[in-house]
Structure formats: C-alpha cells, structure tokens
Amino acid sequence: MIVALVALVVAALALGFALGRARRAVRTPVVAADAPPAPDARFEQLLRSITVGIVTIGEDGTIESVNAAAGAIFELGSRPVAGRAIIEVVPSFELDRRVREALAGSPSRGRISLSRPTGRRALSVATIPLDGADGALVIATDETRLQELEQTRRDFIASVSHELRTPLSSIKLMIETVLETDDAEAIDLFLPQVAREVDRMVHLVEDLLELARAESGRLRLRRENVDLASVVGNIVTTFEPRAAQLGVAIRLRSEETRIDGDPDRLAQVVVNLVDNALRHTPAGGSVTLDVRPTHAGAALVVRDTGIGIPYNDLPHVFERFYVVDRSRTRDSTGTGLGLSIVKQIVEAHGGDIDAASEFGLGATFTCTFPALRRAYAAAEY
Ligand SMILES: Nc1ncnc2c1ncn2[C@@H]1O[C@H](COP(=O)(O)OP(=O)(O)OP(=O)(O)O)[C@@H](O)[C@H]1O
Ligand SMILES: [Mg+2]
C-alpha cells in the first residue's frame, strides 16, 4: 500500500515537472542558433514548429503561454496575451466554458466555431486539466479548410443527384405513358423527348468526367504553336447559321495571334462562350469576338448585348452547377458546368478568365493567355 502511494507521488511529481517544463518551454522559446540543441531546446523547437496550437492556462484561469500555431489559429496578432483571461483574447463563450471546466478537472474535445475579422473559422479544440487545480491545456487545430471541402463535396453530390434525378423522373413518366397507350400521336410526341433527355444526361456525364479530369490535373493539352484567331474564326463560322436563326449578329475582329495552345481545347472554350452569349442575347442583339496579341501574350474577348449577369451572381458563374436563373434563358437545358470547364482549360494554358457585366446591358468574358515563350513554364500540363 505504502509502496503504491510512494509510486503515485513520484509519478505525480514527475508529471508536474514535465508539464512545468513544457509550460516554461512554450513561454520562453529561446534557442541558440549555433549550439547543438539540448533536449529542452529541442522541445521548445518542437512546440514552435508544430502546426497544432497549444495554450497553457494557469490555475487562476489566465493565459500563461501560447505557441506560434495557437497565435495564428486564434488570430491573436502581436498583442501580449499572457496574464489575460482566454475570453478577453478569444471571443468564444464555448471555449471559455470548456477552459473553466478543464480547470475544475473535466476534459473535453470538440469543434468550436469562431467569428474572426478574416471570416468564420472551424476549430477542433481539446481542453485538458493539468493535475487538478494546477491549470489547463488548450490544444487546437484549424479545420476550416477541411470543413469547406466537406461542404463542397456534399453540395457537389447534391447537385449531381438533382441534375440526374430530374431528367430521369421525366423519362420514367414519358416511358410509362408510352407503354400504357396505343395512341400513335402520344408515342410520336414522347419518344423524341425521351431521346432529348437522354442526350442531356449523356452531355452532363461527359461534362462531369471532363471536369473531374481537369480538376485532378489530368487534363492533357496537346500544345502547338497555334493561331488563336483561326481557331476562333472556325468556331464563329459554325455558329453563323444558328445566330442568323436567332436574329443575333455575330462578328469577329481578329488578327494573327500565336499562342502555345491545344486547338481542340481552345475551340471548346470558344464554343462554350459563344453558346452562352447566344443563349442570353435576344433577337436584334449582337455577339462580338475580339482576338489580338497583347503586351503580355494574347487576349480573347467575347462580348454580347444580352441580358447580362446580376452583380451578385458575377463572382459565382465559374462555379460548378452555378446557373443564375433558369427562367432567364431561351432554353433551360444548361447545367452550369460550361464556364467551370472553360476556366479549367484556360488556366491549364497558364491563362486567366474574367467576367464583367452590366445587368441588362450584356456580358463580357475576357480570356488572357501567356506569350508563346512563357506558356510552357506557366502550366505544368
Ligand atoms: N453571356 C452570358 N450572359 C448572361 N448570363 C450568362 C452568360 N454566360 C453565362 N451566364 C450565366 O452563367 C451561368 C453559368 O454558365 P455555364 O456556361 O457555366 O452554364 P450553363 O450555360 O447554364 O450550362 P452548360 O454550359 O453546362 O450547358 C449560366 O447559367 C447563366 O446564368
Ligand atoms: Mg454554358
């Protein structure tokens, strides 16, 4: 019994010593540059370089020390925090409550959400009591990015399911009608619609595969010294009959503009931009394409006089599945993937794309590409 008690006291003393050393180490991170690091210095170095935030709280509930990562995670800036209560420097009642519980002997672990000047942050925080009333330890990691990715993945799956479910339910309905009827007229009406819906789904799945390839860096460009003006010229020619049918004038102003590009992918960019422009421009309007060399490389501008894009939607049009308002278009078949694919292709070329619009007065999409020599260095594809 006595032996067990002595062992316990020795263990407690050893733990107290180690934690005391840890706290001192966090507080006074001094390492001589040339001397070989002593064990204490190594420990200090470790605390300074790990990406996990560590805050030690004294038994009176005030902060004793913070490591660099904690300073960054809680956005403490350069102000001194030692000797202040945690609630004074980190505005979270939840964290304050958990620290007080840890000081009273109850550990906890979980996420807290923190509103900071740079935005909302999601932190994973553990609060650990240090031998009873002696203080507490706060260990924090920033999971904001992880949470955003989780949200993006959830949104993506929801959008894909929605985009596939809608045409599938209408196909199912039409097929059931065709199966139940002898009416040749109804069959003639529904079967072409079924074919159209299936086409749309095939198109959607192809776009998704394309996007997945692009986003995982597997978009292979077959680059060559190509005249962007002639790529654009060919596409404009193929769109002329459709533009005429819609009553929209399509114009091209171009001069020879050589870039290191994949002609097929560049054609895909132009097709998407012109298709969008035509779908959003009422009869009597115009779509103008400009291709020219610039001091930095090359520029392709697609400008239309259509309905434009509302200011609030403008920053989002390159996001996957973003459609401003289905009721605005001539047809409601768009899935909102075109511009995200366009952006991926332009960026794979080492270029950039920008959208500008005055609502009601048309939209302008500007793609810029690096000059011939620099393009290979800019993109790793
Ligand atoms: N020239 C334009 N004028 C007005 N709105 C536009 C224009 N281009 C794009 N938009 C808006 O941006 C949204 C996203 O365009 P995007 O090309 O990504 O998708 P989409 O055309 O709807 O579908 P998809 O291209 O996948 O068939 C469109 O739904 C539309 O609301
Ligand atoms: Mg489109």
Query: Which pLDDT tens digit goes with each residue over 192-201?
Result: 989 988 988 8
Spans in the chain with pLDDT lower than 70: 1-39, 132-133, 326-333, 374-381
Ligand 2 centre and the CA of 271: distance in Å? 9
**pLDDT at residue number 216:** 75
Cβ-contact 286, 250 below 8 angstroms: yes
Instruction: Say which amino acid occupies 247.
Output: G
Note the ligand closest to the C-alpha atom of 365: 1
Q: Is 167 in the pocket of ligand 1 (CB under 6 A)?
A: no
Q: Is 129 in the pocket of ligand 1 (CB under 6 A)?
A: no
Sketch the domain layout of the chain as residue ranges.
2-142, 158-218, 221-381
In this prediction the pTM is 0.63
**What is d(CA 45, CA 47) in angstroms, rounded to the nearest whole number?**
5
Cβ-contact 369, 346 below 8 angstroms: yes
The closest residue, in CA terms, to atom 17 on ligand 1 is 338
**What is d(CA 72, CA 53) in angstroms, rounded to the nearest whole number?**
8
Ligand 2 centre and the CA of 339: distance in Å? 6
Query: Which pLDDT tens digit goes with each residue over 273-305?
Result: 999 999 999 999 999 999 999 999 999 999 999
**pLDDT at residue number 10:** 36
Domain 2-142 in CATH 2.60.40.10? The answer is no
**pLDDT at residue number 211:** 81
Ligand 2 centre and the CA of 340: distance in Å? 9
**pLDDT at residue number 331:** 60
Query: How many CB atoms sit inside 10 A of residue 194's CB?
Result: 17
**CATH entry, 158-218, from 1.10.10, 1.10.287, 1.25.40, 1.10.132:** 1.10.287
Question: Of 217, 231, 218, whose CA–CA distance to 265 is shortest?
Answer: 231
Q: May I ask the CATH class of domain 221-381?
A: alpha beta
**pLDDT at residue number 234:** 94
